[in-house]
Amino acid sequence: MVARGGRGGLGNKHFATSTHQAPKHAQKGEPGEERWLRLELRLIADVGLVGLPNAGKSTLLAALTAARPKIADYPFTTLEPNLGVMDLGMEDQRLPTIADVPGLIEGASEGAGLGHAFLRHVERTRVLVHVVDGSGRDPEWDHGVIRTELAAHDPALLEKPILVAFNKLDLPAAAAAWPAFRAAREREGLPVVGIAAAEGRGIDELRTALAALLPSADAMAEPPEPAGVVIHRIEWMGNVFSIDQGEDGALRVRGRRIERIAAQTNFEVEESAERFQRELVRLGVDAELRRAGVEAGDAVRFGSVELEWEPDAWAVER
């Protein structure tokens, strides 16, 4: 709960007595809480595709799923995450969702290139696929940037099941770099698949590897924390109040109880206004206002309620 509604007021039946069986007085409801909230979207996906700009993540998403993200031959084509559903060809298995996260750059964990906005989307994925452009200037360095930025953003991201997709094997530079890259990943114990997403080469092997990783991701997932019971305790408000003068000259009466009574009083009903005046006398507010020099016609504020002081009656300020 981020904001509580105000407590409902009591109806006139509550104030009925043996001598006054049909009172006109009834309480208004208390005002509810008001807050400005900033909400951040964090996608929930089974698989997150992460990599540097122009590594071919959107092309890979289109190859694995029926999603059709914007694909172009320049960096930062993807500015918002794209989602797709992958068919594993198994009738009794839930179809996993795949998120194509916008490209990371060096320093993304510190906010470079909207890094914070992009990285938060991989926090709730079950498996991460590191998509590396095999035709780039240095695939090994690119993969190091991915791992460094993920670890700097949240070290727990490196504990998720990881699959490395070495992309663009259809290009000569990638084909030349592939054997050394694959050997390095195998030494590290990381599963790696060589693909050419644009041609569909290696996609079936990648899909099979993902299907094998997803059950292990379920086993590693922490059980959800049981929802705690939130207990809202009624605070004793007491009769404490204070009186000061605002910059505009109006007297302000501060106190949780008296402000609440004022907020729940319908001053357009004479009987309710009279009851409020009796409360002022009972709580000692009337006497303190007189000692503070209040005069007929002066403005007196009780929280958000402003009244015009009259010796024997109250009129709400409109």
Q: What is the domain class of 12-37+234-309 according to CATH?
A: alpha beta
Sorted by where each begins, the domain ranges of the chain are 12-37+234-309, 47-221
Residues 278-302 have pLDDT tens digits of 888 888 988 888 888 888 888 899 9
The CATH classification number of 47-221 equals: 3.40.50.300
Q: Indicate the average pLDDT of the chain.
A: 77
The DSSP-derived string for 253-307 is EE-HHHHHHHHT--TTSHHHHHHHHHHHHHHTHHHHHHHTT--TT-EEEETTEEE
* pTM, entire model: 0.57
Express as a percent the part of the chain with pLDDT over 90.
Answer: 19
Asked if residue 12 lies in contact with residue 26, where contact means CB atoms within 8 angstroms, the answer is yes
Report whether pLDDT(227) > 60. no
Cβ atoms of 161 and 127 closer than 8 Å: yes
Cα 150-158-207 angle, rounded to 5 deg: 100
Alpha helices in 65-171 (DSSP H): 115-119, 139-153
b/e string for 185-222 if b means 16 or more Cβ within 10 A? beeeeebbbbbbbbeeebbeebbebbeebbeebeeeee
pLDDT of residue 270: 81
pLDDT digits 0-9 by tens, 90-127: 555 667 888 888 767 554 344 444 444 567 777 778 89
Give Cβ neighbours of residue 260 (< 8 Å, ≥ 6 apart).
Answer: 30, 237, 303
* 251/112: higher pLDDT: 251
Identical fold, 12-37+234-309 and 47-221: no
Has residue 46 got a pLDDT over 50?
Answer: yes
Mean pLDDT computed over 260-278:
85
